[in-house]
């Protein structure tokens, strides 16, 4: 069998040469002996390990070392030892006096029980009465002395039961603690030794190409150092769009592909456009301060629609029963943060009453809700309308089904719903396999005549408002909506572009 040519890099050769005279080196020593940096030496060593010329041996050893408290005792003695020493000097001291004399009053709390347990002293009427003076060092103190010298103790060193017992007690007293030391030793294998014995020559090799090497053609006579293509790479994260924005863009594209015009509007809206134009009665609970962000400001009403909207609310405008009572212009003038983007679509329809209109809007809506994992006071809404001669409820279901299918939700169903401004109203739901249940994703319906007629809209309007953040939670696997708005930069970095 022809001998395989081993294409060793210069660094690998240096590492083998460093090892061949030793019985193993740790990474620091290997670096020193080979004249390489620790990283370079170890990279070469790991490559050589794969080729079985050496072995990188990882060994974890458990040791005992002093805790912070233990270090103090190692220098100043155990608390019980310090108390007995004080008593040797002055046997009349009471507990309070002892407390004052020790650097920490806790020494008494920790020391006294042991003083008694070791039968060095007893307590009578608040005084500590020594039983023996200058007691001999106990086995625990001997272990502490040893550890003071050696700094760490291999737990295997103690085989005899008594010492094991002592160690157990010291550990319980928080004087010593276990720790694990990682050791790495690199040994040359017989195979490696053979290779070195056959003779290794160090020749210059190219690590980084330079303009000079390329121009001169010097590379032709030199070795080019190969990279280990299996070395894991440190991740770099390119800047990117917010994953939520990417989802919004996907929804935008779907509606654009379906021939919808994108529209936008103001965040601050009059109650008129947010509620009244949508035939929401002025005493409707949703309009109260609990649910809506009311503002101090007011604005003018669109003159041409005041009378017709008023008539519809109060008397039903000749087609409906209406809500009865008085419709107040003052209430309609008050401004709010839009509670839904329907305020934007209804205004757009009013300004564009000629069919056909297919429009959508994905923007923020505001509701007076306390923040929790599934509620935020502002959130994105996807609003869509179709206005044309002869469109009907089944077409509404058609638009929604198409949208959800394109979003990747295969199973869609429609449950009856209720919104003051649509009739029929539906709540579309999609089936989420992973959750094993139907999830409601918004509301939709055909605008009531009570809404469209006073605004001069003469044809049926199909409308929907879908919760974008619900979809985001499903898509991005979020458990807390706040992640979208108060983003962890690492979450953004690690999010994927799919």
- Number of neighbouring beta carbons within 10 Å of residue 282: 17
Of 434, 365, 435, 444, give the one whose Cα is nearest residue 403: 444
Residue whose CB is less far from other proteins, 121 or 386: 386
Query: Which of 42, 462, 473, 474 is close enough to bind other proteins by CB under 8 A?
Result: 462
**Stretch touching other proteins by CB under 8 A, among 22-30, 51-59, 139-147, 390-398:** 390-398
470 is a contact residue toward other proteins (CB under 8 A): no
In sequence order, the 6+-apart residues with CB closer than 8 A to the CB of 47 are 9, 12, 228
> Do 379 and 469 touch, CB atoms closer than 8 A?
yes
Task: Report in angstroms how near the CB of residue 404 gets to other proteins at its nearest.
Answer: 10
Q: Cβ of 495: how many Cβ atoms within 10 Å?
A: 17
- Considering only residues 263-322, where is the footprint of other proteins by CB under 8 A? 263-268, 283, 285, 289, 293-297, 299, 316, 319-322
Is 328 a residue that touches other proteins (CB under 8 A)? no
Nearer Cβ to other proteins, position 169 or 282?
Answer: 282
Closer Cβ to other proteins, 119 or 264, answer by number: 264
Place of tokens 């608390």: 79
Task: Judge contact between 44 and 36, C-beta under 8 A.
Answer: yes
| 431 scored as a contact of other proteins (CB under 8 A) | no
226 to 245: interface string for other proteins, x by CB under 8 A? ------------xxxxx-xx
x/- mask, other proteins, residues 142-181, rule CB under 8 A, reads ----------------------------------------
Does residue number 252 form part of the binding site for other proteins (CB under 8 A)?
yes
Residue 157 DSSP one-character state: G
Minimum distance of other proteins from residue 14's CB (angstroms)? 34
Alpha helix positions (H), 182-242: 190-197, 211-216
CB of 268 to other proteins, least distance (A): 4
Count CA within 13 A, CB hemisphere, residue 280: 22
Query: Which sign, positive or negative, has the C-alpha torsion 415, 418, 421, 423?
Result: positive
Helices (H), 90-189: 95-101, 106-117, 139-150, 161-172
Burial 446-474 (b: 16+ CB within 10 A, else e): bbbbbbbbbbebebbbbbbbbbbbbbbbb
With respect to other proteins, which residue has the nearer C-beta, 226 or 356? 356
Does 494 contact other proteins by CB under 8 A? no
β-bridge mates for residue 59, sequence order: 183
Verify binding: residue 449, other proteins, rule CB under 8 A.
yes
What residue has token string 């272990």?
Answer: 143
Q: What are phi and psi of 300, to 5 degrees?
A: -70, 150
Of 308 and 320, nearer to other proteins (C-beta) is 320
Asked if 262 touches other proteins (CB under 8 A), the answer is: yes
User: Smallest distance, Å, CB 328 to other proteins?
Assistant: 15
Name the minimum Å distance from CB 122 to other proteins: 54
417 binds other proteins (CB under 8 A): yes
Structure token digits, residue 476: 């991005």
366 binds other proteins (CB under 8 A): yes
**What minimum distance in Å lies between the beta carbon of 403 and other proteins?**
10
Q: Indicate the length of the chain as a whole number.
A: 498
The nearer residue to other proteins, 9 or 469, going by C-beta atoms, is 469
């Amino acid at each position: 069998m022809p001998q395989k040519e081993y294409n060793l890099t210069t660094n690998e050769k240096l590492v083998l040469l460093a090892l061949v005279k030793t019985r193993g080196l740790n990474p620091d020593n290997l670096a020193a002996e080979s004249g390489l940096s620790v990283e370079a030496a170890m990279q070469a060593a790991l490559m050589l390990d794969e080729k079985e010329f050496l072995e990188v041996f990882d060994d974890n050893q458990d040791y005992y070392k002093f805790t912070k408290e233990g270090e103090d005792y190692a220098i100043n003695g155990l608390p019980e030892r310090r108390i007995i020493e004080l008593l040797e000097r002055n046997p009349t001291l009471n507990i309070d006096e002892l407390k004052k004399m020790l650097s920490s009053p806790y020494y008494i709390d920790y020391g006294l029980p042991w003083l008694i347990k070791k039968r060095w002293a007893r307590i009578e009427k608040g005084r500590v009465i020594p039983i023996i003076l200058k007691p001999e060092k106990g086995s625990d103190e001997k272990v502490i002395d040893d550890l003071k010298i050696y700094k760490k103790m291999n737990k295997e060193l103690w085989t005899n039961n008594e010492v094991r017992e002592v160690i157990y007690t010291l550990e319980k007293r928080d004087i010593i603690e276990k720790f694990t030391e990682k050791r790495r030793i690199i040994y040359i294998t017989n195979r490696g030794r053979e290779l070195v014995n056959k003779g290794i020559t160090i020749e210059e090799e190219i690590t980084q190409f330079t303009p000079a090497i390329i121009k001169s053609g010097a590379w032709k006579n030199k070795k080019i150092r190969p990279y280990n293509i299996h070395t894991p790479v440190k991740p770099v994260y390119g800047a990117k769009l917010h994953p939520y924005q990417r989802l919004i863009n996907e929804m935008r594209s779907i509606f654009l592909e379906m021939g919808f015009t994108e529209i936008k509007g103001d965040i601050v809206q009059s109650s008129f456009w947010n509620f009244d134009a949508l035939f929401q009665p002025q005493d409707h609970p949703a309009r109260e301060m609990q649910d809506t962000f009311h503002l101090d400001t007011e604005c003018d009403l669109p003159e041409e629609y005041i009378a017709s909207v008023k008539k519809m609310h109060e008397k039903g405008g000749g087609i409906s029963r209406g809500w009865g009572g008085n419709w107040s212009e003052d209430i309609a003038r008050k401004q709010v943060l839009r509670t839904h983007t329907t305020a934007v679509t209804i205004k757009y329809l009013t300004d564009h009453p000629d069919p056909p209109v297919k429009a959508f809007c994905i923007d923020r809506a505001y509701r007076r809700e306390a923040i929790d994992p599934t509620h935020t006071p502002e959130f994105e809404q996807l609003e869509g309308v179709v206005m044309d001669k002869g469109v009907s409820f089944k077409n509404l279901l058609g638009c929604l089904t198409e949208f959800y299918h394109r979003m990747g939700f295969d199973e869609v169903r429609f449950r009856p719903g209720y919104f003051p401004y649509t009739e029929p109203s539906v709540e579309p739901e999609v089936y989420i396999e992973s959750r094993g249940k139907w999830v409601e994703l918004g509301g939709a319906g055909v605008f009531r005549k009570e809404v469209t007629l006073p605004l001069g809209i003469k044809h049926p309007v199909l409308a929907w408002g879908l919760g974008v953040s619900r979809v985001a939670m499903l898509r991005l696997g979020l458990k807390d909506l706040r992640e979208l708005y108060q983003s962890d930069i690492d979450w953004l970095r690690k999010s994927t572009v799919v």
